[in-house]
Structures are given as structure tokens and as C-alpha cells.
Amino acid sequence: MERDLVLADGTIFHGEAIGANVRTLGELVFNTGMSGYQETLTDQSYNGQIIVFTYPLIGNAGINRDDYETIQPTVKGVVVRETANVTGNWRAEMTLSEYLQEVGVPGITGVDTRALTKKLRTVGTMKAMLVDHATEESVNEIKHTVLPTNQVLTSATKTPFPVPGTGRKVVVVDFGFKQSILRELTKRQCNVIVVPPKTTASEIKHLDPDGVLLSNGPGNPKDVGYALPMIQAVQGKIPLFGICLGHQLFALANGADTFKMKFGHRGFNHPVREIATGRIDFTSQNHGYAVDPASINRDQLMITHEEINDHTVEGLRHREYPAFSVQFHPDANPGPHDADHLFDDFMDMMSTFKQQGKGVTAHA
């Protein structure tokens, strides 16, 4: 069956339908990863977005039960150059198209994703629609549709839940977290409690955690302003670690500003330099917003990492409190594991803070 991808500027790409037989509208973005399409599709950071995969063949390993980052994806659609109809992995339980159909996500195959990606790099991300047959009304509908701004609330848990362990007690504030974050914490025997995004500082303190992790998540960090008072009240009292959206919220809570990037960072090959040591880590990233370096109060926050290609702020550390954040995904599933040592740094920070006595400011 034929299917069309319609862009907000009127450009139309023709292809064949895969996945669910539904119309969809969302923000069109591209991902440069060469693997890990299942983890990407189930990453809540893609809430409301149509993903263009730049790697030419997608689906050859099928879909399995082990690689989900969440059970119910919130991605709006999938665009690929070629879809594998035969899987070549012993863990595969279904094909990509069968999975998309099962979870109600439409896709399109046979698209010149190289040309499409070059367009998005030139003009930036834009709204787009997947339809059976493009019409002039399709373009008008795209132009007049206002995309939702409540992605975090539709991605995150509504009620707290525990992930039992025998070690440090860590509260994960869920803004749309990836399961791989929990895997890294449980690998270190942490006793984890996941809480909703609107959890207050007093509720978190009542849980008496050794540390607080601000998770990744979708959308504009300025739409999550309700979390800033919690961060401001927690930092200095409990060791804090922010990842991706959590990094941006940590920056906003300390007076910095964020901005929307032209086409964002979405892939698993982004080189990041640790400024103090010169160490280069290749990282997994998925974000369309970044922290404005000119807005950072350097007496309060220190820039710890930068992206080599465009010098995006990739890491921050508070100069007084035991609190730090990174823009990339140190859990890196999928992607390289160069930066997973940051979870060990978080463990060390919690131990140091506890040894020095709670309520006493400490440098990590």
C-alpha cells in the first residue's frame, strides 16, 4: 500500500506503508545511529516525533523482548529507506513492521532518507504528516496544528514504584526515563524508587534518599518549569545527578537558559570532551534543546563537558553543592559505554556526602 510523507513546507516523499494503517502528525527528526532501532523507538524522549533513520536498512534483527526502553512507545511515526522483511537474530520475536502494527505506529519505507536528512539539516526540524495520499489540505492541516507541550506528563509514571536493591537508596525523578538507567543503578545494587515528575522536594526528602537522579525525557525543558522548585530545594541537601532533560532542568534551576537547536543531536556517535582532562568519550545523545553557555553563572556552575563538533554544553557541575549533570546518555543503550563511569562518580558522590554528614555542602 502506498503512503506519503508530507512536510510542513509542502515537500512530499512517496513510499510504501509499513506498520499501523493510521494517519499521524508530529515533529520530524533524524537519528544517525547504525543500530539500536528498537531502543530508539521505545525511548520516551521521542514522544510526539516522527523518526527518520539515516542508516539505509532497518529491521534486520527484528524485535525482541529484551531491548525495550519502555513497553508502550510514544513515537508518532517511522521513516526508513529500506525495511528488512526477514530477521537474522535468534532473539527476534517479530519483524519491525509487525511490531509497529501491534503498537499502532505508522511508518513509511522506500524514502530517500539521505535527501530528507540533508533537508532537515539545512532548514531544521519541522512538522510532518504520514498519510495514504497527500493533498493540499494535508499541508494546511500541518501548518495549523499546534504540537502538544505536555510530553513529559504523557511519558512519565503517574505513581511511585520501587525497584528493590540492597545498596544506596536513589530516587529517580521520571521525566520519561529509559530502562537502561535503572539497569545501571541496579547493577550497582541501588535501592531505587521511581517518582512522578511533579513530585515535590518535601516528598523526596521524606523518602530519605542517598541521591536523586533527574532522568531524561521529551520536549522543551521550559515546559517542565514545575520541576525547578523541587531541584532548587533538593540540591545541596541531597546529591544530585541529571541526565539529558534532567541536565537542562538542572541548568534552568540554577539560572541558566536553554534554546531550541536547529536539528538536535540524535545518534550514538557524538564525541564529547571532558574539559578538565581532555578525555574524549563517544556518546549516545537524543535532544533537540541545549543549554546556552552565555547564560551560565560561572561562579555557580562549571562547564565540565563539551561536544567537539559544535561545542554544545554537555556537562555541568555545581561549584558548591554535590550536584552534576550531563547532556548525553551515560547509560548508552544503545550506543557506546565510554561514559558509564559517571554512574560510579554518582556512587562516589553519595558516599562522600554521607561520610561528611548530611546537610553539609560537599564537593564531589
Q: Is the pLDDT of residue 360 over 70?
A: no
Does 57 count as an annotated binding residue?
no
Q: Is the pLDDT of residue 237 over 80?
A: yes
SS3 of the chain: helix, strand, coil, percent, to 5: 25, 30, 40
For 197-219, letters b (16+ CB in 10 Å) and e give bebebeebeeeebbbbbbbbbbb
Mean pLDDT, residues 166-179 taken together: 97
Q: Is the pLDDT of residue 361 over 60?
A: no
Residue 78: which residues within 8 A CB-CB, separation 6 or more?
18, 19, 41, 50, 51, 53, 58, 96, 100, 105, 106, 107, 108
Mean pLDDT, residues 331-342 taken together: 87
Residue with cell 524522549: 45
For residue 14, count other CB atoms closer than 10 A to its CB. Answer: 14
Annotated catalytic residue 244: yes
Label the pairing between strands 57-58 and 49-53: unpaired
Q: Where in the chain is the domain with CATH 3.50.30.20?
A: 2-144
Does 288 count as an annotated binding residue?
yes
Reported as a pLDDT band with limits 50, 70 and 90, residue 98 is very high
Mean pLDDT, residues 92-102 taken together: 96
- Give the pLDDT score at 357: 79
**Mean per-residue pLDDT over the chain, rounded:** 95
Reported as a pLDDT band with limits 50, 70 and 90, residue 358 is low
Helix (H, G, I), strand (E, B) or coil at 222: helix
Residue among 67, 247, 329, 338 flagged as catalytic: 329
CA geometry: angle 70, 75, 81, nearest 5 deg: 115
CA distances from residue 136 to 3, 116, 240, 353 in whole angstroms, order as listed: 15, 20, 50, 61
For residue 228, report the phi and psi dihedrals to the nearest 5 degrees. Answer: -65, -45
- Give the pLDDT score at 195: 98
Does 153 count as an annotated binding residue?
no
- Report residue 109 as a C-alpha cell: 519505507
The DSSP symbol for 196 reads: -
What digits encode the pLDDT tens for the residues 135-166? 989 999 999 999 999 999 999 999 999 999 99
Annotated catalytic residue 247: no
Reported as a pLDDT band with limits 50, 70 and 90, residue 253 is very high
β-pair partners for 316: 303, 325
Cα(184)–Cα(283) distance, rounded to whole angstroms?
A: 16
Does 110 count as an annotated binding residue?
no
- Give the pLDDT score at 363: 38
- Give the pLDDT score at 336: 85
Q: Where in the chain is the domain with CATH 3.40.50.880?
A: 151-356
Q: Which CATH class is domain 2-144?
A: alpha beta
β-pair partners for 24: 130
Residue among 244, 281, 287, 318 flagged as catalytic: 244
Residue among 67, 174, 210, 331 flagged as catalytic: 331
Annotated catalytic residue 305: no
The residue that leads in pLDDT, 332 or 284, is 284
User: What pTM, to 2 d.p., does this model score?
Assistant: 0.95
Does 286 count as an annotated binding residue?
yes
Superfamily of domain 151-356, CATH level 4: Class I glutamine amidotransferase (GATase) domain (3.40.50.880)
Residue 206: which residues within 8 A CB-CB, separation 6 or more?
none
- Give the pLDDT score at 335: 84
Does 97 count as an annotated binding residue?
no
Q: Is the pLDDT of residue 227 over 60?
A: yes
